[in-house]
Amino acid sequence: MVKRWLLLIILVSTIMIAGCWDRNDLEELAYIIAIGIDKSESHGMMKITYQIANPEASGMANGATAEEASDIITVDAPDFISARDLLVSFVSREANFTHMKVLVVSEEIARGEELVDYIKPAVRDREFDRKITFIVCREKAADYIRSNDPTLETRPHKFFELMTDRWEETGLIPDSTLNEYLHRLEEDAGLFLATYSTAEKVDPKKNGMEDEYTAGQVEKEGGNPVQTIGSAVIKEGKMIGTLTGEETRIAIVLRPYIEVGTMVVTYEDPLAKGKHITARVYNEERTKVSINTNQEYPVVNVEVPIVLEILTITSHIDYIQDLEKQDLLKRHIEGKYLEVAGKFIKKTQQQFKADPFRWSLIARKNFLTLQEYWDYDWMNTYPNAEINLDVNVEIREYGKQLRPPNIELIKD
């Protein structure tokens, strides 16, 4: 009986400790936080850049170590999965993808036919998280990663994590992940908007509003040389153009679901030339989209509800007490939205010949079977679609700082 119990204890103990066979200590792993992909001069190869975090340097307080926060290595390999094994030639630790934050692709590759083939290995590695941020950079990805020099963050992975959160709060940069790229590729019904970024200054744009830039055009001094604003437009897996921050915001607002809760937007003052009005936009309701597919080309009806809070009126015109001025401002903002959004929609129909608004999700509901939807071919019918756009603006607040003393705020 004692022997049986002893045997049982040994068997149970063996099962309990069996899960530790693949355990690795922190100092045994090299955590890759960013991967860059560039073309290689060698046939059938590509240049892979790995940014590897140094947890020892990142964890030391008050700069108590002279070690670099990360190590950046570029190698030639058939793909970035096999390139990981090459790291053993110069890195003593085991490379690990589980903490990866961004995948950076050079514009040269994004505009070529090879992009899909370069990205495919990510689908087959279980360590890859499809939610990693997908970035297209103007220059070579290796130069971009090496030029990135955040001044407030010593840990590079934390920089990418915090920047992604900030992008989601402004609407100037799309929610761009590897999973969304692969989804749009398989869906084959619209455009994918990738994050567009650069560390180079290219044709700086002066006197522009806060959203009228693409990466590299913002005039600034000091700080991190990397600029991220606007989108890279990708159709059927290949980059075909870019969008400004303003166009990116329009694409996000016209989608039938809410992606960005609030945005700060600047408008021209309708009563004072050269002056502007700054407002916070609240996206509290979804954009209403209905699509009629009973004819050869679809008819799309779009209704955009916009709620505003006025933050700044540089002309100091009193829009609070004068109801006529309030109505004028409301109609001015609605007209501006209709003008800018109308031009952008035409651009997507005539230049890109596909929609970035995910309207195909609404159109798909009109068909009983998937085959009927495929036969309708949304990608090819969208350029000839009739689109009716309506914008409803509600100005909720006009700013307490401009309200005269002892006068109640006049609302619509």
pLDDT of residue 304: 92
Which tops the pLDDT comparison, 339 or 152? 339
Q: Is the pLDDT of residue 403 over 90?
A: no
As beta bridge partners, residue 397 has: 309
Q: Which of 1, 103, 111 is nearest to 50 (CA)?
A: 103
Hey, what CATH topology would domain 259-412 get?
Answer: GMP Synthetase; Chain A, domain 3 (3.30.300)
The per-residue pLDDT for 23 is 57
State residue 384's pLDDT score.
93
Instruction: With a cut of 70, say whether residue 410 has pLDDT above it.
Output: no
Dump pLDDT digits (tens) for 47-89.
Answer: 889 888 876 655 544 444 556 777 888 888 887 777 777 777 7
Q: What is the pLDDT of residues 168-196, one digit of tens each?
A: 778 888 888 888 888 888 888 889 999 99
Position 107 scores a pLDDT of 92
How many whole angstroms from its chain centre is CA 92? 34
User: What was the pLDDT predicted at 153?
Assistant: 73
**pLDDT for 205:** 64
Q: pTM of the entire structure?
A: 0.83
Q: Is the pLDDT of residue 22 over 60?
A: no
Token code pair at residue 247: 């166009």
Query: pLDDT grade, residue 157 (50/70/90)?
Result: confident
Structure confidence at residue 19 (pLDDT): 59
In the chain, ranges of CATH 3.30.300.210 domains: 259-412
pLDDT at 400: 57
| Distance (Å) of CA 233 to CA 102, 128, 248, 352 | 18, 24, 10, 9
Q: Average pLDDT, whole number, for the chain?
A: 82
**Phi, psi of 11, rounded to the nearest 5 degrees:** -65, -45
Q: 238 has which bridge partners?
A: 235
Using left for φ > 0, alpha for ψ between -120 and 50, and beta otherwise, residue 406 falls in left
Quick one: tokens of 183?
Answer: 């989804």
Residue 105 in tokens: 């692709």
Position with higher pLDDT, 13 vs 39? 39
State residue 135's pLDDT score: 92
Residue 322 identity (one-letter amino acid):
D
pLDDT at 283 over 90: no
**Tokens in use for 37?**
């992909």
- Label residues 118-154 b or e (16+ Cβ within 10 Å = b): bbeebeeeeebeeebbbbbbbbbbbbbbeebebeebe
**What is the predicted pLDDT for the residue at 404?**
47
